[in-house]
Structure 1
Amino acid sequence: MGHKAVILGCNYYIGLSAIRCLGKYGIHTVAIDHSANRAYGAASKFTSERLIAPHYKEDKDAFIAFLKEYGRQQEVPPVLIPCHDSYVEVIDEHLEELRELYLIPQTKQGLYTEVMNKESLHRLAARHGVKVPETVRPGDDGYLDRVEKELKYPCVVKPTDSPSFVAVFRRKLFIAHNRQELLEAIEKAKHAGLDIIIQRIIPGFDDHMYTFDAYLNQNSTVTHWVSCQKFRQFPINFGASVYTGQLYVPELLEIGGAFLEKIGWKGFAEIEFKKDADTGEFYLIEVNVRITNLNELLRKVGINFPYVTYRELTGSPLEPHAVTQNTNRVFWYCYEDMLAIRDYIRTKQLTAWQVLRSLLKPKAYAIWAWNDPKPALAFASVIASKLWSKLRRK
């Protein structure tokens, strides 16, 4: 048996997509999660092995010990593929010891965390000439006046550590429309013990959000890349992709590719940009350092990033490739897109006709696959269970 692929996090469709991307090539996939409950991604027919590990946060030491013990049992090092930010944080903290047993693209300990942290990322981007939204920290001298004069209301209150913030508030950020709302948001974050920053909202509807998805080899050179344009997000305006299309934007290679190479990045990364509706300039918003929501779309349009990762780390890299033609294909997470559509129409940001027209595009589905239906059925069971619980509480 060759190198296995260990996928961390299978209770979301990102892990499912990674399993499918590798399993279709006959690679032995190991689906690891902290609970079998709701881990619908592991129901894929492409899952070779399914394991339950200690919780990565509640019992971090036991989780690392579990990974190390599994690694020691293998004849050759498995490729380690985290599919959630929290897994990446733990891997980065123990990078050197895990690299003794697993194949991991990143070699510099701390770089994952530096790029995931919004504050340090924006300092890094500014140092390399990449535009970022104007930012103010609570507690800075005259920060309230600076918000009113430089950032203006409404503004966003964002965490420096997104996974911890989302775990507490079940949302990615707060929006402050005035000083009172800003102070309330700051107090909430302070009470939760979380660091936050305040940023200007770059003007433009959700279709002004773009992604640059790339793989950089062990020489920190971009070998594979594709760009996309978001159409809808959930929650609307400041959420995750639920309807996003591939779109060739060469300028994103010039900005994003150059930035990743300069900081010595290795492996996969997805940079989210927003194009200023007034100036046309691209602003770096955040970087996802693990396989992302759009993975199935990226595979459908020509780049299988988990497989690219696997091949390079196991010594047989694929030929460089970029998607330089527009395919018109979109990623669709139907469940959350239905919720987003409801909110876009309620707030009059989109009309029903605009939504209907958009749905005619060829799709890459987040969960459904004709040749692998079990995960979708397992997901439907999860949703039905949630709905039943809500009805019982009423």
Structure 2
Amino acid sequence: MPFSAAREVPGLIVKFGDYPLHHGGVGAIRSLGRLGVPMYAITEDRYTPAAASRYLERAFVWPTTGTEEPERLVEGLLRVGRRIGRPALLIPTDEEAAVLIAEHQGELTGRFLFPPVDPGLPRRLASKQGLHELCVEHGIPSPSAAFPQSYDDVVGFAEKTRFPVVAKNREAFERRKQPAVNGTTRIVSREGLLTLARDWGEHPGVILQEYLPREQAEDWIVHAYFDRNSTPLALFTGVKVRSWPPHAGMTANAYVVDNPELADLAARFIKQIGFTGIIDLDLRFDRRDGQYKLLDFNPRMGAQFRLFESESGVDVVRAMHLDLTGRTVPEGEQRAGHRYIVENIDLPALLAYRRSGYTTPHAPARASGTELAWFAGDDPLPFLTMLARFVRPGAKHLYQLWRTNHRGGSTRSGSRPRAGR
């Protein structure tokens, strides 16, 4: 590898909530651990895949829900930092952690390293409404959207809109409480919308969004790391082949595909809003008007970030560690044609996509290489731990999601898996 990392600066995986089967955290532990960086992680218990990695120095068992008071979470982070005993790089794996770090930089500075982002920006980007408003403000294409404030607003929307439409929770954090909708929900009729809306309360916490038909669209992803000047030090583009739940959830299979237009769009938007740090973007290319429309902005590492690595061996986590420890991030082209597979969800996704007839034109006929989310020859225990925890409850969960996506009625919904795609 043509560069060395600052081995005296450890990394800490920060996650809030109960989602032990998170391959992104395992990927970050391996990525920096293979460079000799001491790695630590906050885990739900001692038997998560992350805790089983040979590259993990220590797991700090700290069960959380993500709904705790920020002061309690900050104090817990500081307590973990004191136990590590030296400044550590924070690597959040969910929006709650990313927002907490941004909004409490004053308390965390000195004990930890993290990008110096505008404190209010990650929360706004993680919000569906905040993101839509930023897109409108800066001329970035996004699906047309409405933000009803009452049931009457929903009725008015239903009278003039064209179905189907998509309903999502307006704020990212609503999934922790009592979400209005169960993930991304496709609504096919006026009656279906009004029926759902009766359960949304006096002030619906939803966004009603234009539906981009998958027959006329392609799902693209952008992962990047931007320095304090909002300059990209690592920027990658790829196409999502399959997700689980189908067409609405976590990436199950994806390829690296060069897309200069998309890279320029992402870099321009980040420069305009002044973001610093790691991003994970989901966009849908609408063949009807030839536009890439921004759907989701995750102001943190995405679960599938290990799809992307430059020819110099740099991924977004390594870029952040190098930059924040004062080292130069080597330049290098992305590995076009490389493939990423999440073993425990790609098979059911493959079966579902075959039934739907959906294909991704930009997916290469043959991969130039494959990165598995869970299995690694030099670190097999996370894969085995995943299997042990996934087989029975995981299979039941996949079946429930399949039933949800194939039941009749006016809606088709999918429960979005925790912590990024």
| Bin of the TM-score, shorter chain as denominator length | 0.7 to 0.9
Residue number among 275, 283, 307 corresponding to 2:318 in the alignment: 307
Matched residue, 2:130: 120
Residue number among 167, 172, 182 corresponding to 2:193 in the alignment: 182
SS at match of 2:308: helix
Residue number among 293, 296, 306 corresponding to 2:306 in the alignment: 296
SS at match of 1:271: strand
| AA in 2 matched with 1:2 | E
- Aligned residue pair count: 382
Partners of 2:178 and 2:333 in 1: CA distance: 38
- Superposed CA deviations along residues 215-259 of structure 1, whole A, max 9, x for unmatched, are 111111112111001111111122221111110010112211100
Matched, 1:316 2:327: yes
- The 1:58–1:294 alpha-carbon spacing in structure 2 relative to 1, beyond 3 Å, is closer
SS at match of 1:275: strand
Once the two structures are TM-superposed, the CA of residue 27 in structure 1 deviates from its matched residue by 0.4
Once the two structures are TM-superposed, the CA of residue 116 in structure 1 deviates from its matched residue by 0.6
- Superposed CA deviations along residues 2-36 of structure 1, whole A, max 9, x for unmatched, are 11111123641010000001000100100112333
Map 1:236-255; keep pairs closer than 5 Å. Answer: 236-255=246-265
CA RMSD of aligned residues (A): 2.9
47-56 or 232-241, which moves further after superposition?
47-56
Matched, 1:376 2:380: no
Matched, 1:89 2:99: yes
- Superposed CA deviations along residues 155-214 of structure 1, whole A, max 9, x for unmatched, are 0001122343276569422111111211233334438x8611100012334960111211
Partners of 1:20 and 1:259 in 2: CA distance: 31
Residue number among 2, 14, 20 corresponding to 2:8 in the alignment: 2
SS at match of 1:105: coil
Alpha carbons 1:44, 1:374 under 8 Å: kept: yes
Matched residue, 1:340: 349
Residue number among 234, 247, 250 corresponding to 2:244 in the alignment: 234
| AA in 2 matched with 1:6 | L
Once the two structures are TM-superposed, the CA of residue 115 in structure 1 deviates from its matched residue by 0.7
Alpha carbons 2:164, 2:186 under 8 Å: kept: yes
- The 1:102–1:387 alpha-carbon spacing in structure 2 relative to 1, beyond 3 Å, is closer
99-108 or 271-280, which moves further after superposition?
99-108
Partners of 1:250 and 1:194 in 2: CA distance: 39
Partners of 1:388 and 1:173 in 2: CA distance: 21
- Superposed CA deviations along residues 91-138 of structure 1, whole A, max 9, x for unmatched, are 234232112421111332111101111101110111111011101122
Matched residue, 2:371: 364
Alpha carbons 1:224, 1:322 under 8 Å: kept: no
| AA in 2 matched with 1:48 | E
TM-score (norm 1): 0.87
77-86 or 4-13, which moves further after superposition?
4-13
Once the two structures are TM-superposed, the CA of residue 42 in structure 1 deviates from its matched residue by 2.0
Matched, 1:109 2:119: yes
Once the two structures are TM-superposed, the CA of residue 300 in structure 1 deviates from its matched residue by 7.1
Partners of 2:204 and 2:23 in 1: CA distance: 28
Matched, 1:283 2:293: yes
| AA in 2 matched with 1:276 | D
Matched residue, 2:222: 212
Residue number among 217, 221, 231 corresponding to 2:231 in the alignment: 221
Query: Which structure 1 segments of 5+ residues have no match?
Result: none
- Superposed CA deviations along residues 281-305 of structure 1, whole A, max 9, x for unmatched, are 1111111111112212113765321
Once the two structures are TM-superposed, the CA of residue 322 in structure 1 deviates from its matched residue by 4.4
SS at match of 1:31: strand
Name the structure, 1 or 2, with higher relative contact order (CA <8 Å, separation 6+).
2
